[in-house]
Amino acid sequence: MPETVVLRRMADYSEVSGSRRFFEDLETLAAPLSPGAKVLIKPNLVAARHTPLACTHPAVVREVGRYFRQAGCRVTVGDSPAFGSASGVARRCGYGPWLRDEGMPIVTLDRPVAVDVSWGERVGISRRALEADLIVNVGKLKAHGQMRLTACIKNLFGCVSGVRKGLAHARYGERGTRFEDLLLEVALALPPTLHVLDGVQVLHRWGPTHGTPLDFGLLGVAADGFALDAAAYTAVGMDPEAIPLWRAARRRRISGAWTESHSYPALAPSFWQDQGFEVPATLNPVSFRPAQLARSLLRRIWFRIRDRFNSGLKLS
């Protein structure tokens, strides 16, 4: 059965706010939920540096949250940033007081639970994610210095709690394709997930935090994150061998990784080709060296102290 991928042209973020079509797309593709269902919105809140370009734009998260709030769901916004707390990064991204005003608390995805992966080891995924009735994964389309290009599936790695992400880089980064396999395992271990892709203004040439802005004008929705990612990669003009995560998904025969099986009821990926989206020609190693991992741990501690000092968990 074809995977439905809805790709819309949005000239800027003002078109996202109050978009009737966006609400209709969510209604069409979201699984039915009972009133009171726990919905976790998982944006990309990678770090406080170079925000909001490196992170999911607040307008997209706000509209997603409003849809599920109107459906009677209990909505939480959460991530486990590379550095700092979710609330601290969100504040720097301009999420502002509307999260509180609209009854959508923001949390850091901590409280890890050991989850088995297929090769016999374990990864610590946040209990907050595992206990959700639905995760709405709101990824950011951007160039990436280690993955070349990322969209939705890589964003789910933020459900791995805290320092465990850095440890995974150190542990699996030099084992062939094992790190990409871990990203797939995390995505497949989570509860039912709806995927939304913020490609309205993208980060290109480099990433995931540094880079150059490009007005790309894409907003995507799909029940299958692998299908939405493959559509986005195609929109940028890439092929599977150029994207490690896409290549790994096809190697494991994940159906959404083949664009021939997709249905596009709105626009096709070809609409966005030839817009000048540039990706890194050479990739950095995925592995974190011991010194790099130690620096990362110290920075995490510093950002956590700073965020707690600057905010009593209030967004302003």
Check residue 48 and give its pLDDT.
73
Confidence of residue 51 (pLDDT cuts 50, 70, 90): low
Check residue 304 and give its pLDDT.
55
| Residue 80 or 172, more confident | 80
Contact between 158 and 80 under an 8 Å Cβ cutoff? The reply is: yes
Percentage, residues of the chain above pLDDT 70: 85
Check residue 212 and give its pLDDT.
94
Check residue 313 and give its pLDDT.
45
Give me the domains of the chain, ranges plus CATH numbers. Answer: 3-310 (3.40.50.11440)
- Structure confidence by residue, pLDDT tens digits, 81-93: 877 789 889 988 8
Check residue 80 and give its pLDDT.
92
Confidence of residue 284 (pLDDT cuts 50, 70, 90): confident
Percentage, residues of the chain above pLDDT 90: 69
pLDDT over threshold 50, residue 225: yes
Check residue 167 and give its pLDDT.
73
Confidence of residue 97 (pLDDT cuts 50, 70, 90): confident
Whole-number mean pLDDT of the chain? 88
Range with the poorest average pLDDT among 9-23, 46-60, 277-291: 277-291
pLDDT over threshold 90, residue 301: no
